[in-house]
Amino acid sequence: MANITMKSVDAVVVGGGWAGSIMAKELTEAGLNVVMLERGADRSTASDGAYPGSIDELQGNFRHKIFQDLSRSSVTIRNNSSQTALPYRQMAAFLPGEGVGGAGLHWSGVHFRMPPDDLILRSKVKEKYGEKFIPEGMNLQDYGVTYDELEPFFDKAEKVFGTSGEAYTVNGQVVGKGNVFAPSRSDHFPLPALKDVYGASLFRRAAAEVGFHPYAMPAANASAQYTNSYGVQMGPCNFCGYCSGYACYMYSKASPNVNILPVLRTDPKFQLRDRAHVLRVELDSTKKQATGVTYLDSNGDTVFQPADLVVVAAFQFHNVHLMLLSGIGKPYDPVANEGVVGRNFVYQNVTTTTAWLDKSVYTKQFIGTGGGGVAFDDFNSENFDHGPLGFVGGSPVWVNQAGIKAIAAAKSGGPPGTPRWGSAWKKAMVDTYRHSVRMDAHGSNMAYRDVYLDLDPTWKDAYGLPLLRMTFDWKDNDIRMNRYVVGQIAKVTRAMGARDVHFGQRQPDEHFDTRYYQTTHLAGGAVMGADPKTSALNRYLQSWDVSNVFVIGANAFPQGTGYNPTGMVAALAYWSAYHIRTTYLKNPGPLVQI
């Protein structure tokens, strides 16, 4: 158990997922020596995704082979601050990653750009409906960055990820049958859209028939062979259905392991250290500069890695945890409504509707691609008039058939009300599996004053450090939004000719339940913004308090959004890196003066 001090480097990056890999690539391109620290094991598609051994649902989705090791570190959760938060002991509601590639290895591949209005949501709602429209206690904020500013970085990320999709407008000209609500792009998607699976094709036809605007979901699952902007090759997706929870054996799903690290690993300026668990970012006596990070290595030695620049780029809540443990930024106090680290913690508001088709029709739900599908955005973002509805936020609706496999089908069973075992279960389960179509309302979740992250007073991780505590519950605004959008789905299922439908929707006064998978799209907690009183990071994702610390991830979202977060995280990483490269490195210090 030695104490070791390493030779100083230009930059240390905490976390080996998308954010960390993008930042390490950009910083080595800028000539910096970069060390990346990943607490989990090294992983590659060749070892973790080898066919056929990797095509194992028990290991992938139920023993969580490539997910976070909860035995070492977890979080505690409660619905409100009068409760005692209890440990999240078993993986269920959300599934954070671990190991090189992070959540970017086990994700599905849905790859969106953030809707422009979502980036300026407070301003937009205020302008359209007046400030009084914002419910009491809702911390609605702008990101401090606009779509036009981010557009080149969305484009850059798509060309790294090999994203498949169909544009609606490029440079203001209508060019295809893409999402009519999507903002204009500077270029087409790198690859054409993936084919629709059957359920998605039925959904497309029915949605169009009732007047909605269906489009092919943008997917970082390659629809054809592709060589990305770093020269790395991807294979065409074969719809195997093993995306979410797996390393893609076809090299079709974008991951840091496939799309960035093969190049980065050959760069002499880059060093990856796996099984390196970062304990804290070290600050100097002024608390305004970081001197490096301290981590535990696989031998149990405590290692100090000095660095001029510290990039915190782990998963959303790990970033917030590390800031709290390191004393970077003022911790949020919900009573005084002061402080910023832990503030505006949000989730995503997803419910699933199932439609049963005629028994002669086989939907083959085992065929799937993680990011592909058909969506409509008529009730997402500010694409519809919220005035008479009285809620903030929205929800895309989609068929995103990522491949439903046998154990998942058996455990989810038949329609609600049918038994979960025995002959009645068996009959209903088989019917459901063979002939149904599942649709998600993939909604936003707003930020509230009494929903936040802080350090737990009781439970510790394997390193003796306090667990992060989540205080989270569903709120009336978000429940009403979900119920409104799910109500619209009824029009589509009628047009599909479904023989039966179960509408998955939030119930009034429903509490967040940690026991069922909902989504891993956690966000906020260390948000970006223009005001240091309500944001932990400036618009370049630089800590307001410690200027040589940048914090990259979905933690930066001031409130939830209807889309999956990875596209935005990647764009923010490239955006931040660009400003580090062009401005910060020439004259290190705050990029925004208060």
Partner 1 sequence: MQGLAGAAALGSATLPARAARSTERSSYTPGFFSQPEWAFLHAACDRLIPEDAVGPGAIALGVPEFIDRQMETPYAYGKLWYMQAPFVSGPDNLGYQLPFTPRDIYRKGIAGAEAFVKAKYGQSFHALDAATRDVILQGFETGDVRFGDLPASVFFAQLLNNTMEGAFSDPIHGGNKGLGGWTTIGFPGARADFMDWVDQYGKEYPLGTVSISGETA
Q: How far is the CB of 226 from partner 1 (least distance, A)?
A: 14
* Cβ at position 367, least distance to partner 1 in Å: 4
> 464-523: which residues touch partner 1 (CB under 8 A)?
511-515
Two tokens, residue 434? 């063979």
Least CB distance from residue 564 to partner 1, whole Å?
Answer: 22
Minimum distance between the CB of residue 369 and partner 1, rounded to whole angstroms?
8
CA nearest to 538, candidates 547, 548, 528, 527: 528
Residue with tokens 């935005």: 568
Q: Token match 């798509």: residue? A: 158
| Residue number, 74 or 380, with CB nearest to partner 1 | 74
8 A C-beta contact, residue 196 and residue 208 = no
Interface with partner 1: number of residues (CB under 8 A):
73
CB-based contact 194:219 (threshold 8 Å): yes
Q: Which is nearer to partner 1, 431 or 450 (CB)?
A: 431
81, 87, 262, 271: which one binds partner 1 (CB under 8 A): 87
Coil, strand or helix: which one is 218? coil
Q: Which is nearer to partner 1, 433 or 550 (CB)?
A: 433
Contact between 533 and partner 1 by CB under 8 A: the answer reads no
Interface with partner 1 includes 321 (CB under 8 A)?
no
Cβ(318)–Cβ(15) below 8 Å: yes
User: Could you give the 3-state DSSP secondary structure of residue 169?
Assistant: strand
Selecting among 111, 277, 521, 579, the annotated active-site residue is: 521
Least separation in angstroms between residue 537's CB and partner 1 is 29
Per DSSP, helices labelled H in 162-253 are 198-209
Among 48, 57, 117, 151, interactor with partner 1 by CB under 8 A: 57
Strand 86-87 and strand 169-170: the pairing is unpaired
Nearer to partner 1, 28 or 400 (CB): 400
**Rule CB under 8 A: which of 214-253 touch partner 1?**
235-236, 238-242, 249-251
Comparing CB distances to partner 1, the nearer of 382 and 456 is 456
- The least CB distance from residue 364 to partner 1, in Å, is 5
| Tokens representing residue 436 in the block | 């149904």
Q: Which residues fall within 8 angstroms of residue 5, CB to CB, at 6 or more apart? A: 303, 304, 306
Residue from 5, 47, 84, 227 binding partner 1 (CB under 8 A) = 84
Q: Which stretch binds partner 1 (CB under 8 A): 139-147, 182-190, 304-312, 406-414?
A: 406-414
Q: Do 237 and 223 meet the contact criterion of CB atoms below 8 Å apart?
A: yes
* Comparison of 409 and 526: residue with beta carbon closer to partner 1: 409
Q: What are phi and psi of 201, to 5 degrees?
A: -70, -35
φ and ψ at residue 421, rounded to 5 degrees: -160, 175
Residue of 62, 47, 442 lying closest to 245 (CA atoms): 62
5, 47, 80, 89: residue in contact with partner 1 (rule CB under 8 A): 89
Euclidean distance between CA atoms 489 and 487, whole angstroms: 5
Rounded CA gap, 452 and 31, in Å? 38
Q: Which long-range contacts (CB under 8 A, 24 or more apart) does 143-146 make?
A: 143/119, 143/528, 143/529, 143/539, 143/556, 143/557, 143/558, 144/528, 144/529, 144/530, 144/535, 144/538, 144/539, 145/119, 145/528, 145/539, 145/575, 146/116, 146/119, 146/120
Residue 153 vs 249, nearer CB to partner 1: 249
Within 375-404, the residues that bind partner 1 by CB under 8 A are none
Query: Which residue's CB is nearer to partner 1, number 119 or number 498?
Result: 498
> Among residues 90, 123, 298, 582, which is the contact residue for partner 1, using CB under 8 A?
90
Q: Which one of 3, 71, 587, 593 is in contact with partner 1 (CB under 8 A)? A: 71
| Tokens coding 429 | 């389960």
Binders of partner 1 among 249-278, rule CB under 8 A? 249-251
**Min. distance of Cβ 298 from partner 1 in angstroms?**
18
**138 lines the binding site for partner 1 (CB under 8 A):** no
Q: Which residues of 117-142 are buried (b: 16+ CB within 10 A; e: fewer)?
A: bbbbbbebbbeebeeebbeeebbbbb
- Letters for 412-441 (x = contact with partner 1 by CB under 8 A, - = none) are --------xxxx--xx-xx--xx-------
Nearest to 499 by CA among 297, 305, 360: 360
Catalytic-residue membership of 521: yes
Of the candidate spans 83-91, 168-176, 258-266, 300-308, the one that interacts with partner 1 by CB under 8 A turns out to be 83-91
Q: How far is the CB of 509 from partner 1 (least distance, A)?
A: 12
Residues 189-208 touching partner 1, rule: CB under 8 A, are 195-198, 201
- Please report how close the Cβ of residue 419 comes to partner 1 at its closest, in angstroms: 9
| Footprint on residues 352-371 left by partner 1 (CB under 8 A) | 360-362, 364, 366-367
- Contact between 7 and partner 1 per CB under 8 A: no
d(CA 387, CA 102): 40
Tell me: does residue 169 bind partner 1 (CB under 8 A). Answer: no
Q: How far is the CB of 251 from partner 1 (least distance, A)?
A: 7
* Contacts with partner 1, 91-120, as mask; x by CB under 8 A: xx----------------------------
Measured distance CA(330)–CA(131) in Å, rounded: 27
- CA 454, CA 471: separation in Å to the nearest integer? 8
Active site residue ranges: 521
